[in-house]
Structure 1
Amino acid sequence: MARWIESWLPGSPTGTDGDAGHPGKQFGLPAAGHFSVAGVGRRIGGVCLDWLLAYLLVLLVAGVEAIGTPEFGWWVLGTWYVITALTVAVLGSTPGHLALGMRVARTDMAQHVGVPRALLRTAMIAVVLPVFFLDPDGRGWHDRASTTIVVRVLRG
């Protein structure tokens, strides 16, 4: 059996006899449609919408003259962190996720992500680096550490 670190290296065995199937298969998720793994492009779009929302909220409170001050970026980061952690813990989705038809689900398929997982996941996203290392299921380090996966949610 492969060590866990080897699953992050391209071309290394992952203990699945070379056929991992579609992303999310090991968690019982479908290949396409409702509750399938959300694509990277959709996820990037969602986080960009969340950052834009945080930026606009800080501008609304601090005013346009705050742009360019040393504190402005930290206020945007803090606002984004609170919005993301709170909405993932309570609703399972950020505003950006909701707008693009996604939600954060636990890999054990429990009902709610919960506060500790949401705080950990959001803190790791804020560091940015873990987001760039995806496993075959499209999960970054932040999702693996919090035992979550981002899935599509079709409205209808």
Structure 2
Amino acid sequence: MTGSWLSGPSAALPKGQQQEQAYTGELLGLPEHGPGSLVSTARRALALCLDWFLSMAIAASLVGENPLESSRLSAYTLIIWFVVGVVTVTLFSFTPGQFIAGLRVARVDAPVRVGIVRALARQLLIVFVVPATVTDVDGRGLHDRATGTAIVRAR
């Protein structure tokens, strides 16, 4: 049980890998810089915040008078955020916040669109917050590992 942290940083590497990768995304076959390269956690968080605030604005308009005092605002915001995330990632490979931040969701196993099943599973895992905060050596969250996706630069 204690071997992983007593063995040093190389214990966290994927099975069979002896040395660290030169840059994040190298093991996935992604470029180091430019379009298609992995993005930082800060840019992913920015895109998530943009999506959340856009969803909150839509929810506030649906709630009506005094939306900040309404008990329905948070539930509507979550539902709108979830639906918008699934629909836009399925159709366009990015959410509105990711588009503004210059990001997109890409499959790492094939050069095709994410698809509705992966988009739905990915969004469902993000709802629970923890899978998105636990990252691997490439900086991908558990939700991305589970669905075979990664957040990459679009431009």
Normalization by structure 2: what TM-score? 0.88
- Could you tell me the percent identity over the aligned residues? 34
Give secondary structure in 2 for the equivalent of 1:27.
coil
Aligned residue number for residue 113 of structure 2: 112
Q: Distance in 2 between matches of 1:103 and 1:127?
A: 21
Which residue identity does 1:78 align to in structure 2?
A: I
Give secondary structure in 2 for the equivalent of 1:104.
strand
- Is the aligned partner of 1:101 residue 2:102? yes
Structure 1 unaligned residues grouped into runs of 5+:
1-5
Give the CA deviation at 1:20: 2.0
Give secondary structure in 2 for the equivalent of 1:80.
helix
Give secondary structure in 2 for the equivalent of 1:67.
helix
Give the CA deviation at 1:114: 0.4
Q: Distance in 2 between matches of 1:109 and 1:44?
A: 25
Residue-pair matches, total: 146
Alignment of 1:69-80 (within 5 A): 69-80=70-81
Aligned residue number for residue 130 of structure 1: 131
Which residue identity does 2:145 align to in structure 1?
A: R
Aligned residue number for residue 24 of structure 2: 23
Give secondary structure in 2 for the equivalent of 1:149.
strand
With 81-90 and 66-75 compared, the bigger mean Cα shift is at 66-75
Give the direction of change, closer, same or farther, for the CA distance of 1:18–1:64 in structure 2 (3 Å limit). farther
Normalization by structure 1: what TM-score? 0.88
Where has structure 1 moved over 4 Å in runs of 4 or more? none
Q: Distance in 2 between matches of 1:103 and 1:74?
A: 26
Q: Deviations over 1:6-47 (max 9, x none)?
A: 7xxx82242321222211111211111111101111000000
Aligned residue number for residue 85 of structure 1: 86
RMSD: 1.5
Which residue identity does 1:52 align to in structure 2?
A: F
Give secondary structure in 1 for the equivalent of 2:27.
helix
Which residue identity does 2:57 align to in structure 1?
A: L
Which residue identity does 1:34 align to in structure 2?
A: P
Give secondary structure in 1 for the equivalent of 2:71.
coil
Aligned residue number for residue 33 of structure 1: 34
Give the direction of change, closer, same or farther, for the CA distance of 1:64–1:44 in structure 2 (3 Å limit). farther
